[in-house]
Amino acid sequence: MYTIAYKEALTDVTKLMVVRAPHVARSARAGQFVIVRIDEFGERIPLTIADYDRAAGTITIIFQELGKTTKQLGKLIPGDTLSSFAGPLGHPTEIDNYGVVVCIGGGVGIAPIYPITRALKEAGNRVISIIGARTKDLLFWEEKMMTVSDRFIVCTDDGSHGRAGLVTEPLKELLEDKDNSIAKVWAIGPAGMMKFVTLTTKPYAVPTIVSLNTIMIDGTGMCGGCRVLLEEGARFVCVDGPEFDGHKVDWDSLLSRLSFYRDEEREATEYYEHKCRMDGAKTMTRK
């Protein structure tokens, strides 16, 4: 059992949690992930390690409440426990001094891009960061990102904050700007966003690293459920990734595989919400 030590709402639907898991904290590094299972009935879901504290033995996870599991997770409070917390899994991000780099975080992807941005900054890169979300209420960590960036751009699809439009627009301008000579781009966010970022950088041949969040079960290379098609063949995201050269990813195949269990996810969420309402009704009558 792993105890939740701290919880914070970053937006209405984005939660940060600090979990006591010394076995993971001792060797965790930026770019890696954990597999979390809430209770005996729970599914195993991958969540990126947003931060870690070796001395305290804790791992920070950030998630958006989308389906059944993340909604249930979002209801837990400090002192509650998780039944499994396995990791750290996957390869850590390769950090070096590349020169000028761009770090892009979309939606909940702002969380995992932050430690990478910070590490790149510490390694001496000139860091330009772009964060974006559908709307203002889904943005978080603006200040944190700003303090580790040399230049900082924020966009929202609906224009409610920062620039109106997609993260690919400022990215394209940066790529066009001859003074920049961007050495490398990192992009973490919804698969659709990562796809368009890689399409944007491709004509400029700027290496673009993406962190894939596929469906996973074990997270240790045993099921192949996380496989992704690259130019050179199929790879397992959990052991070979989660970071890949975005220009080699077959995005359409990835997007379609991500949607494979959509009906079941909806069913599970409805079933859960129905149960919650019933439980809620029960507690109300008891009062």
Q: Which residues bind ligand FES (CB under 6 A)?
A: 216-219, 221-226, 236, 238
Residue with Cβ nearer other proteins (42 or 207): 42
Stretch that binds other proteins, among 139-147, 182-190, 206-214, 258-266 (CB under 8 A): 258-266
Q: Pairing between strand 2-9 and 33-37?
A: unpaired
Q: Which does 268 bind (CB under 5 to 8 A by kind): ligand FES, other proteins, none?
A: other proteins
* Contact call for residues 235 and 227 (beta carbons, < 8 A): yes
Nearer to other proteins, 83 or 135 (CB): 83
Smallest distance, other proteins to C-beta of residue 46, A: 13
Burial class (CB in 10 A: 0-12, 13-18, 19+), 262: exposed
CB 106 within 8 A of CB 145: no
The answer to whether 192 contacts other proteins (rule: CB under 8 A) is: no
Kindly state the smallest distance separating residue 120's Cβ from other proteins, in Å: 23
Task: State both tokens at 102.
Answer: 């761009």
CB of 215 to ligand FES, least distance (A): 8
For 275, residues 6+ apart whose C-beta sits below 8 A from its C-beta are none
Q: Which residue has tokens 């772009």?
A: 130
Candidate segments 9-17, 50-58, 161-169, 215-223, binder of other proteins by CB under 8 A: 215-223
CB 110 within 8 A of CB 144: no
- Strands 126-133 and 100-106 come out as parallel
Q: Binding of other proteins at residue 68 (CB under 8 A)?
A: yes
What residues have CB less than 8 Å from 159, skipping those under 6 apart?
A: 165
Q: Is the Cβ of residue 27 or residue 97 nearer to other proteins in the bound state?
A: 27
Task: Give the residues lining the site for other proteins (CB under 8 A).
Answer: 23-24, 26-27, 35, 37, 41-44, 68-69, 83-89, 217-218, 220-225, 227-229, 234, 239, 250, 252-253, 256-257, 259-261, 264-265, 267-268, 271-272
